[in-house]
Chains A and B, each alone.
Chain A
Amino acid sequence: MMMASDIRPEPTPKARERLLDVKGLTIEIETRNGPATIVDGIDLHVDKGETLGIVGESGCGKSLTMLSMMRLLPNKIRVTKGEANFGGRDLQKMSNADLRKVRGGEVGFIFQDPMTSLNPVMRIGQQLAEPLIYHRGMTKAEARKRAGELLKLVGIPGAEDRLDAYPHELSGGMRQRVMIAIGLACNPQLLIADEPTTALDVTIQAQIVDLVKELRDKLGMSVVWITHDLALIAGLVDRINVLYAGTVVEDAPVDALFDNPSHPYTQGLLASIPKLTDERSTRLSSIGGTPPEPGRRPKGCPFAPRCPLAEQVCHERVPSLEGVGQAGAHRVACFVAQRKLEAA
């Protein structure tokens, strides 16, 4: 075990401990035409001290996977199969009381929209104090003091004076900092950031990414950062999982993913990032078609209908995630990419 003085655990890639391990999680939504699968047996894991980026376009199940893991889904959406182990305990089977201790206490959340994710009629100091009182059994005075420190930690100027502010009195960036402070209030082992910068402008986005990076290094926690913006998190994450239609299509260390994207979908995503060196007249590149609707998933690889490299086999069978390099750390779910590697 690391000592208390350690600021960040030594990165020892070989002997890493699994913090979060999601296995075969399947999520269904009830529709008029019966249940439809949105997330199909997803596998993903986060090691202690690791930062995982989850990338994919809107509706691919990124947020849903994280929310369902913590059983925060609306009634019509259900987990039908699979498990989500956190620190060796299955969150899906845990009692509600135990789960509440994990939520907020061991896993912190930051949500997409800081404008609406704070209770408008509660002062931010109180909102920060709530998990401290509930999870850490602090008195109101202690919690308030700690809340002031947390605001200072996330870089809010005049932190103590801001405790009495209502959310509407703060700017979007400031509110997102407050959200981060709330997420971090109980020193969670895992911070799940669900597109925390989507609602913010570009300069603030960078600040928030830097802030989370700094806090992660300081507090030594694991982070899952959900986004559709690959470029934004390139400098933040250790590993990236590319999601498509509710399955992981590529899992790779961040450098490997950028240097050698193997799945045609990842290649398409990377190609669609505009470059400064492009000619002005160049059209932005995009991936043709749209993702499959829930309930209308193709029989084979879910990306096959949009894939430029698709072959007969892709339409017939679902490829599994296989290692293609980096000693098995780089994995891809694509028949074409896997065959290419074998040939090489």
Chain B
Amino acid sequence: MSVVPMTNNTVEIEPPVSLWRDAWHRLRRNRLAVFGLAVVVILAFTAVFGPYLTPYDFLSQDLNSRNMAPSLTHFFGTDDLGRDVFSRVIYGTRTAFLVAIVVTFIAVLIGVTLGALAGFFGGWLDRIVMWLTDMTMSIPNLLLVVVINASLKTPIASWMESRYLATLNPFYRETIWVDFLLVFGSMALISWPPYARLVRAQVLSIRSRPYITAAQALGLTNRIILMRYVVPNALGPLIVAVSAGLGTAMVLESAFSFLGVGVNPPTPSWGNMISDGLRVWQHYPHLLAAPAAVLGLASVAFSFLGDGLNDALNPRGAK
């Protein structure tokens, strides 16, 4: 029995605009966020297509043109071995993105899983996860990386060398991935707690919100409630955290490489380039300026993008 009068005039039906499209509209209006997004996209593009963009091989030395100032042939000049700084910065972008993505991906995977389980089930599971989180957070990341460098890296490298000599399998000759996996893998293993806490807090607070009860009272299934009521409300802060986390991981990679415990030369990293440039900056400032400027730009870009996403995904908080 429908008592509601059916109107004859046709209702203009627009396609329903999703949360994401809406967030995109709001993001586009935020200039800083657009700037951040543009820089991130350009850097990502550079990282992916690096080998096709570099005018020179990042390793090729030209001892006749060492420490040259920026010019049209060498945009960022050359370093003390005559290597093209522009090409090295581009390869440094690859390093930075690879590390940032690996670290953030592993950390988010662990953090979201543990956080969601803890928030959803509560009880003893929650207590164990929170205890693990607190324990992990107490480990200083620099110390951990130094310890791993000092303890694990050498035995593994020598083990790989012995395997190579025994088998002549070229797989064992490549030691760069040991840098990446060992150092930054261990970094990932201690950077999940913020994600776990964030997701747990989100799930906990959303689970007890009246609109979840209201959705249950509407007879919606748990799946729909989870997909349309819990997840979208929890995702905003997570996306913001991931964006900020990518930037942080890049800066950390540079910091560790700067200190000599991250990516080892000759693999280019913004951090070890800055470290090299710092020694001669009074004479050749471009050697310091180029990688430092790109690192600064990347860090600021991720930060702006994170802020912009925060505003775009939280309609209530946005002005």
A residues sitting closer than 8 Å to B (CB atoms) are: 4, 7, 67, 70, 72, 74, 99-105, 109, 111-113, 116-123, 125-126, 130-131, 134-135, 140-141, 144-145, 148-150, 153, 160, 164, 166, 168, 179, 182, 187, 218-220
Closest to A107 in B: B217
Report the separation of the CA atoms of residues A316 and B38 in the bound assembly, to the nearest whole angstrom: 78
Residue numbers in A under 8 Å from B16 (CB-CB): 123, 125-126, 140, 144
Residue numbers in A under 8 Å from B11 (CB-CB): 144-145, 148, 160
Chain B 226-262 per-residue mask, 1 if CB under 8 angstroms from chain A, else 0: 0011001100100000000000000000000000000
Residue numbers in B under 8 Å from A153 (CB-CB): 4
Partner of A103, one of B4, B7, B210, B219: B219
Closest to A146 in B: B4
Report the separation of the CA atoms of residues A150 and B6 in the bound assembly, to the nearest whole angstrom: 11
Q: In the complex, how many residues of chain B place their beta carbon closer than 8 angstroms to a beta carbon of chain A?
A: 35
Given contacts A160-B12, A164-B14, contact A118 B214 (CB under 8 A): yes
Query: B72 at the A/B interface (Cβ < 8 Å)?
Result: no
Residue numbers in B under 8 Å from A168 (CB-CB): 315-316
Given contacts A121-B315, A218-B3, contact A109 B217 (CB under 8 A): yes
**Are B315 and A150 in contact (CB-based, < 8 A)?**
no
Which of B11, B219, B224 has most chain A Cβ within 10 Å? B219
**Are B1 and A4 in contact (CB-based, < 8 A)?**
yes
Which of B1, B213, B218, B236 has most chain A Cβ within 10 Å? B218
Given contacts A120-B316, A168-B316, A187-B2, contact A103 B217 (CB under 8 A): yes
Residue numbers in A under 8 Å from B17 (CB-CB): 123, 164
In chain B, positions 297-319 with a C-beta closer than 8 Å to chain A are 315-316
Residue numbers in B under 8 Å from A144 (CB-CB): 11, 13, 16
Please give the distance in Å from A174's CB to the nearest CB on chain B: 16
7 contacts between A and B (CB under 8 A): A101-B219, A103-B216, A111-B217, A122-B228, A141-B13, A153-B4, A168-B315
Query: B19 at the A/B interface (Cβ < 8 Å)?
Result: yes
**Are A117 and B4 in contact (CB-based, < 8 A)?**
no
Residue numbers in A under 8 Å from B233 (CB-CB): 119-121
Closest to B212 in A: A119
Please give the distance in Å from B63's CB to the nearest CB on chain A: 60
Query: B283 at the A/B interface (Cβ < 8 Å)?
Result: no
Please give the distance in Å from B276's CB to the nearest CB on chain A: 48
Given A105-B219, A116-B211, A149-B5, 17 more A-B residue pairs with CB atoms under 8 Å apart are A4-B1, A99-B219, A100-B219, A103-B217, A103-B219, A104-B218, A113-B210, A122-B228, A123-B17, A130-B224, A130-B228, A131-B219, A134-B221, A140-B16, A145-B13, A149-B7, A220-B3
Partner of A72, one of B13, B209, B211, B217: B217
Residue numbers in B under 8 Å from A218 (CB-CB): 3
**Are B211 and A150 in contact (CB-based, < 8 A)?**
no
Please give the distance in Å from A30's CB to the nearest CB on chain B: 13
Chain B 25-68 per-residue mask, 1 if CB under 8 angstroms from chain A, else 0: 00000000000000000000000000000000000000000000
**Are B220 and A130 in contact (CB-based, < 8 A)?**
yes
